[in-house]
Chain A
């Protein structure tokens, strides 16, 4: 079981509830296939640095989880089929990344963290 991290960008056209539903659908898919969710982070609506599919904003969501490797393929196929998803990025975390994420979660670098949460809120 390797630890992974996935960022998905949803279209801004969805309402908040539908966006949450879409996210819930994928977390359910993960859980049903034997993945263990480590953390979830909702960044909310953010401005994109460049337009993707003619949209200038996107709804960001980050999921960190432990899963068997063949699940990633399944998940990404689902992402590609889903028109509501503009972009996604899955990376495997190495031990430094896991340590970093854990530190970030516990709020070890406070200044950085507050800046980030403010961004997500605004």
Chain B
């Protein structure tokens, strides 16, 4: 039996070691400033849409606050409602 190669019936899962976490919980941030558009840029994609929690790892509580802050920033013209090339 010289079959050294291991063969899997199903493809093995490649584990992603980095666990996502909520940056607000971890850093103790309690208020998200809608006037800080540079910071809010981290939570929107290049079309100006809010990124889902599954990508940013934000907890539900703070995702709601992020969304609120982004909407406020849009209203006062700090962030665009629609665009093609934000980043």
Chain A residues with a Cβ under 8 A of chain B: 7, 9, 46, 48-50, 52, 58, 60, 62, 87, 89, 91, 94, 96-97, 99-100, 112, 115-116
Chain B residues with a Cβ under 8 A of chain A: 30-31, 33-36, 38, 72, 74-81, 83
Q: Are A89 and B72 in contact (CB under 8 A)?
A: yes
Q: Are B35 and A7 in contact (CB under 8 A)?
A: yes
Closest-by-CB residue of B relative to A43 is: B35
Scoring B30, B34, B75, B77 by chain A CB atoms within 10 A of each residue's CB, the highest score goes to B77
Report the bound CA distance from A78 to B75 in whole Å: 19
Between A and B, 22 residue pairs with Cβ closer than 8 Å are: A7-B35, A46-B77, A48-B77, A49-B77, A49-B79, A49-B83, A50-B77, A50-B83, A58-B77, A87-B77, A89-B72, A89-B75, A91-B34, A91-B72, A94-B31, A97-B31, A99-B31, A100-B30, A100-B31, A100-B33, A115-B38, A116-B36
From A7, A50, A62, A112, contact of B80 by CB (8 A): A50
Q: Are B35 and A112 in contact (CB under 8 A)?
A: no
Report the bound CA distance from A62 to B35 in whole Å: 10
Q: Are B76 and A7 in contact (CB under 8 A)?
A: yes
From B33, B76, B81, contact of A87 by CB (8 A): B76
Query: How many Å from the CB of B79 to the closest CB on chain A?
Result: 5
Query: How many Å from the CB of A1 to the closest CB on chain B?
Result: 20
Closest-by-CB residue of A relative to B68 is: A91
Report the bound CA distance from A49 to B80 in whole Å: 5
Q: Are B31 and A96 in contact (CB under 8 A)?
A: yes
Query: How many Å from the CB of B61 to the closest CB on chain A?
Result: 12
Report the bound CA distance from A52 to B76 in whole Å: 10
Report the bound CA distance from A6 to B37 in whole Å: 17
Given A62-B35, A89-B72, A91-B72, residue A52 in contact with residue B77 (CB < 8 A): yes
Scoring B35, B38, B75 by chain A CB atoms within 10 A of each residue's CB, the highest score goes to B35
Given A62-B35, A100-B33, residue A50 in contact with residue B81 (CB < 8 A): yes
